[in-house]
A and B are shown apart, each in its own frame.
Chain A
Amino acid sequence: MLNPDLKLNQNIFNQEIEQKPIRDGYGLALVELGESDPNIVVLTADLVESTRVETFAKKFPERFFEVGVAEQNMAAIAAGLAVSGKIPFISSYATFSPGKNLETIRTTIIYNRANVKIAGHHAGVVTGPDGATHQATEDLAITRSLPGLTIFSPCDVEEAKKVTLESVRVDGPVYLRFVRDKTPILTTAATPFAKDNLPVFWLSQNPTAVIFATGHLLFQALIAAKELEEDGIDVLVVNVATIKPLPEKELVGLVEKTGAVVTVEDHQVVGGLGGAIAEILARTAPAPIEFIGLQDRFAESGRLNDLIEKYNLGSVAIRAAVKKVIQRKK
């Protein structure tokens, strides 16, 4: 059942569940931050509307910088602003930033310990019709490898707002992962958020597997959990909004309680959430793991639900993975 303590949206299993783009939460939070802190500045590389920085730009024109189609320049300008006491948010598509400008981010932001917040939009295959060129499916692998970078991957618009607000409380660089298309709103304003927490969204009596999901596919994991319950299989579903650092002790506790793991992410299975969890479990509490994500391939143009189905990212694939991983238990 849905965890009652988390004050989740009660319409999660209703066909009529309200949907909004995760990226909207970024825009809303930036305006709040802009009002409360004069050091907040925002940059974009010719993507004002689609990275949702329009309202900030209108309200705080002096603190908004349009750099044109120049992601490297955007990252390094932000580094200069940050070492001078500003808190810059750089906003582009994740395939370009931190994709195209990776070395600039590595040198001038990460190694330089510049307090820059990197917002990577259009993450995952659900970027949809634009096709694989614009679907960032390697950004977590890229950012996870950067020392000292905090990474947030929110599950819905509400959580996107919370992680954006949280990012300024992190003294150092942060990567924020946002999604383009409308996705179900799973949480409410009252749902608690803590950076070093692994909230269990779906509870059950005798769980035999734990599903760790990040981003909008958490919805698919919850659907799968409900269907598995009908099949007589108890699982836990955990929302992983902080990809790095992962709260190791809590993670291991959940795995030891269940003995089998399924990871779910709209990202390559290489180097993302599944990789992060496997790395921890391999040296702490080895357990069988199944990985839901892109299986080392590119996706294509298409609608959200068609892509989720074709690339085995949805509830059907998750259910099958849970059954498989339980079978693999010794």
Chain B
Amino acid sequence: MEFELTQTKIKFLEEKANHIRQLIIEMLATAGSGHPAGALGMADIFAAFYFYILNHDPTNPNWPDRDRLVLSNGHICPAYYAAMALAGYFPVEELKTLRQINSRLQGHPHRTSLPGLETTSGPLGEGISQAIGIALAGRLDRKKYQIYCLTSDGEHQEGNTWEAVMFAAKNKINNFTVVIDRNNIQIDGSTEEVMPLEPLRQKYESFGWAVLEVDGNNIRTFIESINEAKAISEKPTVIIAYTVPGKDVSFMEKDFHWHGQAPKPDQAAAALKELRTLAEKIRRED
């Protein structure tokens, strides 16, 4: 982390998050398919990672000492791609090729298609395991890099997730932090109706993890929780980040129907109008 977390910096990050949201809407509207709710909900966290937390170099994506950001729930990749493009990994212009033929931006992230992706993801429950593998390699190579793994709440219904959670505790994997996007929705409805996850905090605690809970749409508190997680070395740490699915697009917020459908042109126009108004408001704030 290069900068002190000043109010100016927070404002800069909020503007980035807003910009990511606008790009998500544009990408999905152009593609005609994709997953807006989770992507919009995680825009603040992606802005925090790519423009503050990560020790990385977009001009040298294979830099061996870089921090690794592993996206487990690959379907929210529009937020990932938008953040990467804004950070300089590839031209912002390329975002409109999402899900189109001959694009490097596959519908779900494919590591070898696009420099800067750490894993291939989409099928759920596989990200924590892969992040653990990267962490073990870092341990063997005596590297100091940090590994962060972004997961969805829904994929905590996958057995593989808990296999990984057990393994990390046994092996005291402490150079990595898992973030759960706790937005309470999945394809078929609310997580607690489809297959209850609560008490999620106690589940992780009983598996031997340190647990932090935070408002995932508050960039300052999220960054503070990341700092806190890095200070915990005796066990792996998970941050349960409560987010609003569809965040900042009023007609999408907290509606599970927006998990997996793209906005139509008029809906996209309305969403962009709302987001641009918000951008103006952030700019004018002091």
Contact = CB atoms under 8 A, between A and B. Distances in A.
Interface of A: 41, 62-63, 65, 67-68, 70, 72-73, 75-86, 88, 103-104, 107-108, 111-113
Nearest to B129: A76
Interface in B169-224: 171
Between B125, B129, B131, the greatest number of chain A beta carbons within 10 A of the residue's beta carbon is seen for B129
B129 A111 contact: no
B126 A107 contact: yes
Contacts of A68: 163, 166-167
A146 to B, nearest CB: 14
Interface of B: 70, 110-112, 118-123, 125-126, 129-138, 140-141, 159-160, 163-164, 166-167, 171
Given A81-B134, A83-B118, 14 more contacts: A41-B136, A72-B163, A73-B160, A77-B136, A79-B129, A79-B130, A80-B136, A81-B133, A81-B137, A83-B111, A85-B141, A108-B120, A108-B126, A113-B111
Contacts of B70: 80
A312 to B, nearest CB: 39
A67 B128 CA distance: 14
Contacts of B171: 65
B123 A77 contact: no
A83 B167 CA distance: 19
A65 to B, nearest CB: 7
Nearest to A69: B163
A73 B167 contact: yes
A40 to B, nearest CB: 11
Contacts of A76: 126, 129-130, 133, 160, 164
B190 to A, nearest CB: 26
Contacts of A111: 110, 120
7 contacts: A62-B140, A77-B130, A77-B164, A80-B132, A86-B137, A112-B110, A113-B112
Contacts of A78: 133
Contact of A80 (B110, B119, B125): B119
A67 B171 CA distance: 10
A65 B136 contact: yes
Contacts of B134: 80-81, 83-84
Given A77-B132, A80-B119, A84-B133, A41 B167 contact: no
Most A CB within 10 A of own CB, among B70, B130, B134 = B130
B110 A84 contact: no
Contacts of B110: 111-112
Nearest to B170: A68
B138 A67 contact: no
Given A73-B163, A82-B133, A108 B119 contact: yes
B140 A41 contact: yes
Nearest to A116: B133
A111 B112 CA distance: 9
A86 B166 CA distance: 22
B133 A80 contact: yes
A289 to B, nearest CB: 37
Given A73-B163, A73-B164, A76-B160, A84 B126 contact: no
